[in-house]
Amino acid sequence: RDAELPRSPPAAAEPRHASPAAPRRPREKLRSAAGSRQQPRGAESRAASAATPARGPPAPFRFDYERFRRSLRHPVRGGRPGEDPESRARRMKVKEMMKFAWDNYRQYALGKNELRPLTRSGHVGNMFGGLRGATVIDALDTLYIMELEEEFQEAKQWVERSFDLNVNGEASLFEVNIRYIGGLLATYYLTGEEVFKSKALELGEKLLPAFNTPTGIPRGVINLGRQGTHTGMSWSWGWASAGSSILAEFGTLHLEFLHLSELSGNPVFAEKATSALLCLPQVKNIRRLLSRVEKPQGLYPNFLSPVTGSWVQHHVSIGGLGDSFYEYLIKSWLMSDKKDSEAKKMYDDALEAIEKHLVKKSAGGLTYIAEWRGGILDHKMGHLACFSGGMIALGAQHAGDSRHRHMELAAEITSTCHESYARSDTKLGPEAFRFEAGSEAMATRLSERYYILRPEVVESYMYLWRLTHEPKYRHWGWEVVQALEKHCRVEAGFSGIRDVYSTTPSHDNMQQSFFLAETLKYLYLLFSEDDVLSLEDWVFNTEAHPLPINHTDLKA
């Protein structure tokens, strides 16, 4: 990845963790297995059963959606009056950008995974195992929140009529989970429309075979097919060291899989992937393993063997390959209504180790989080790592005596990420930036100069705005809107650019699905009142899909 040769940005859907590769168990069987009882045999059993009043089958599980909606503390789309005209105008501009991105996708690429705006065509790629419509699923909740009603109905109709889960191909467990499962779950919670819930549950079951490993740590790639000899097979990425699993992949399942269990009444998802339901027998599996394994300096390396449960190499990053593992620890605690104390402790301990070993200050006074390679620091930050300002600010609200220090750290990291934008000719940030002699917060390698519509910087602006209300975060966000309009908007959509330091940038011809799911949603929320998708009711998965905080037991 760090070769000095120039590299164009990926002409495909880009994984959240920026890996180098683009990368059935029927519900009836699962439910019957969970509720089956041994049938009586022999005369004694028949006599015993005759003496016992016959019991019908257990009542089917039903999630009480209306009660869930009543448990929310704020209207989903907000309701506070009195916003200032400038913020409203800027929010409406972001809404127009979303409509423009969606309309062009619908016209030229509906059903494909992404729009290629320069050639007015669709792109499918090989990351989603034959699944289609990644942009539809990623855009659903954003369209709904922005009150783009007609466009939302178009997207919903595609899901009802054309979203086919009977596919056979190699899929990234991580990407399918955060984009498809996350998008379907969020849209169900926002609307109550059953089609989104049923599709999420059906797709979730197709992911379960990835957990069939000696440790229960899932592998990164799964075949989604129902038929043939490869059904349910999973394996590790070819580029991953020694067949290892990736921290940011197996550590970024908790939020979605817990909700799959919540909605289905089937604990298998939580048992496989999470540890918030402490009453479940296997629920601590991933965390129990991570708690037991020795951590160098308290840090979590990025590669773990799903066979032995041991680290494969000591590369630590808060950016690509590691990022969302940390994010899901603090958000798991918040989503549990602050009951998942194990997640909170793991987050606190991890952040303490990060502060001690990875947080550095440049000669020019910029705070950044370095990467760690077997004890040697690599003084760079990826764009992906810029989410950490928002994460640390979110966690700081519950950090006790450390609150002030953590808020300062969050603000400093977010300011550094802003500098990576401000120091470029386009006012958009590069894929990675370094802190070396004579150069700070700038990409020093040609292969790191591209921008693919990534959301992490505006994500942190949104959190810092909501938690401090300092006007600079809205100002910085508006700078991004203007830069996107000037350099990334083309005649038929939005495109990434190959060099943020060129005043006449070359476009990569890809409108990433996460641009609609994340970048535009976070910008819209930045210019909205705080009760729109209130942080008191919702946590955002790592694709910006809102999932509700569990305020109450919602079994009907």
**Helix, strand or coil, per DSSP, at residue 311:** strand
Give the separation between CA 105 and CA 87, rounded to whole angstroms: 27
CA 315 from chain centre, in angstroms, equals 22
The CA–CA distances, whole Å, from 220 to 134, 146, 240 equal 19, 34, 9
What is the separation, in whole angstroms, between the first and last Cα of the chain?
A: 50
Listing DSSP states for 511-543 in one string gives B-HHIIIIIHHHHHHHTS-TTBT-TTTEEE-TT
Who contacts 398 (Cβ-Cβ below 8 Å, separation ≥6)? 333, 338, 344
**Sign of torsion, CA 113 178 518 200?**
positive
The three-class DSSP label of residue 63 is strand
Beta bridge partners of 493: 490
Q: Which two tokens stand for residue 209?
A: 């075979």
E strand or H helix at 211: none
- Measure the CA–CA gap between 121 and 492, rounded to whole angstroms: 10
The DSSP bridge partners found for residue 442 are 434
Adjacent-strand bridge partners of 440: 435
Instruction: Give the integer Cα–Cα distance in Å for 484 and 106.
Output: 20
Q: How far apart are CA 49 and CA 41, in angstroms?
A: 10
What is the rounded distance in angstroms from the CA atom of residue 452 to the CA atom of residue 95? 20
Is 371 assigned a catalytic role? no
Active-site hit among 14, 114, 170, 175 = 175
Angle at CA of residue 229, ends 227 and 233, nearest 5°: 90
Indicate if 499 belongs to the active site: no
**Active-site hit among 14, 323, 508, 537:** 323
Are 98 and 148 in contact by the 8 Å Cβ rule? The answer is yes
Q: Is 542 marked as binding a ligand?
A: yes
Instruction: Report the C-alpha gap between 431 and 447 in whole angstroms.
Output: 9
Of 141, 431, 448, 518, catalytic:
431
Handedness of CA 189, 191, 193, 199 (dihedral sign): negative
Q: How long, in residues, is the chain?
A: 556
> What is the token pair recorded at 516?
């609609």
Q: How far is CA 180 from the centre of its chain?
A: 10
Burial 172-211 (b: 16+ CB within 10 A, else e): bbbbbbbbbbbbbbbbbbbbeeeebbebbbebbbbbbbbb
H-only helix segments in 65-179:
65-71, 85-109, 134-145, 149-162, 173-175
Provide the token pair at 7: 């590299």
Nearest to 12 by CA among 525, 508, 521, 528: 508
One-letter amino acid at 169 equals: G
- The one catalytic residue in 141, 456, 508, 518 is 456
Alpha-carbon distance of 344 to 459, in angstroms, equals 21
Per the annotation, the verdict on 323 as an active-site residue is: yes
Binding residue numbers for Ca(2+): 542
Binding residue numbers: 542
Active site residues: 175, 323, 431, 456
